[in-house]
Amino acid sequence: MMVSSISPPAAASSDEEDDSDASTKPIRSEKKKNPVSLFQTGGDPPREKKTKKKAPPKAAESEDETLETPRKNSNKKGKGKKSKKPKQERAPSPVIEVDNLEEFVLRPAAQGVTIKCRVTRDKKGMDRGLYPTYYLHLDNDKKVFLLAGRKRKKSKTSNYLISIDPTDLSRGGENFIGKLRSNLMGTKFTVFDNGANPDRANADWSNVRQELSAVVYETNVLGFKGPRKMTVIIPGMNSDNERVPIRPRNDNDGLLMRWQNKNMDNVIELHNKAPVWNDETQSYVLNFHGRVTQASVKNFQIVHSSDPDYIVMQFGRVADDAFTMDYNYPLCAVQAFAIALSSFDGKLACE
């Protein structure tokens, strides 16, 4: 049933366990299906060594299915009463090697491990109100910096640069790792790595940029308020659990066009998990298992339609300018961060 108006959309559902401080956590569950198989498409890289990594059991989100009744304060500011408790009880987080930052942020999350991160938005400074900088850190004791992103000023469409240096957000800098570009309407986004434009391709096209992801926000032409609808398109994985390179030679060969033309070879379609209307709170709610504490239209979980309990990524607000972002295999940090950045840029047409 379509509801014409709501109080805060996608409210965070409360949960007994708040594990927000651990940056990673092996995911346990007794589920029938191996989620890794959802993302394998074959791909063209050589496949002599068929040493397929054994996939872990399923993602933790499956234990509690869709939602629990939110606390009455789930829409209020702050992190709730339990913000300090996990720090005392928390077991040491599994070590994440970030020796080579560029390699780490492009590498898919290890199977069976949720990479838990925090996104902060900095609006301070002359034009930061219009062009805030976003920072991504591991959400653990060390708060390891991973990525920074900022919208470019002289761009016809929304265009975010993503860098592995928080002080260098220039297109020509050696720390440029990827970018997020929108269409004119601000409803479709494409995520690129730092490769060259096809116009500057070398002989074998090996230097040409890869498309890492695309995001489509369904336009809301009727003006009803309600949860956003997102579709996320990513390259499939080969039998060695590596991303299949998608290097379009022109605009008609990218992830968005392949998806629109239903040419899904080596391409995976994901979508946001539909929130459930809660009569008690008069809002749409999702269960974020303690990782999200404030209602926001930007809160979302990304899933595969064949297994909606396996949370590929989730993102949600915990303070005015702070958000948690957790991602699982097959996403990498650049893909997840860029998908999160697209949600900050949603136009009124999608609200």
Q: What is the pLDDT of residues 220-271, one digit of tens each?
A: 655 556 677 899 999 999 989 899 999 998 878 899 999 999 999 999 999 9
What is the rounded CA–CA span in Å between residue 266 and residue 256? 13
Q: Answer yes or no: is 1 within a domain.
A: no
Is residue 92 assigned to a domain?
yes
What is the rounded end-to-end Cα distance, in angstroms, of the chain?
Answer: 18
| Rounded Cα–Cα distance for residues 316 and 109 (Å) | 19
- Other Cβ atoms within 10 Å of 275 Cβ, number: 24
- Quick one: which of 212, 209, 203 has its CA closest to 236? 212
- Tell me the C-alpha to C-alpha distance, in Å, between residue 267 and each of 131, 234, 237, 264: 32, 6, 9, 5
Instruction: Please report whether residue 218 resides in a domain.
Output: yes
Cβ-in-10-Å burial (0-12, 13-18, 19+) of 321 comes to: middle
**Structural domain count, the chain:** 1
Which residues, in sequence order, are CB contacts of 162 under 8 Å at separation 6+? 147, 148, 149, 176, 177, 178, 179, 180, 334, 337, 338, 341
| Tens place of pLDDT per residue across the chain (351 aa) | 332 233 344 555 544 344 434 444 444 444 456 777 888 776 554 333 333 333 443 333 333 333 333 333 333 334 344 444 444 343 444 566 677 899 999 999 999 999 999 999 998 765 655 788 999 999 988 889 999 999 887 777 888 999 999 888 776 778 899 999 999 888 899 999 999 888 888 888 888 999 999 999 987 655 556 677 899 999 999 989 899 999 998 878 899 999 999 999 999 999 999 888 889 888 888 999 899 998 888 899 999 999 999 999 999 999 999 999 999 999 999 999 999 999 887 554 454
**CATH number of the domain to which 33 belongs:** 3.20.90.10
Tell whether 6 is covered by a domain. no
232 forms beta bridges with: 215, 270
Residue 5 lies in a domain: no
CA distances to 12, 119, 160, 164, 318 from 135, in Å? 22, 5, 13, 10, 15
Give the pTM. 0.76
Structure tokens at 215: 């995001």
CB-based burial, 205-229: b 16+ in 10 Å, e otherwise: eeebbbbbbbbbbeebeeeeebbbe
Instruction: State residue 145's pLDDT score.
Output: 95
Which range of residues forms the domain containing residue 170? 11-44+53-350
In a domain, 4, yes or no: no
Phi, psi at 138, each rounded to 5°: -65, 140
Condensed to tens digits (0 to 9), the pLDDT of residues 151-169 reads 887 777 888 999 999 888 7
**Contact by Cβ (8 Å): 270, 233:** yes
Residue 2 counted as domain residue: no
How far apart CA 320 and CA 342 sit, in angstroms, is 18
Evaluate whether 229 touches 2 at the Cβ level (below 8 Å): no
149 phi and psi, to 5 degrees? Answer: -140, 145
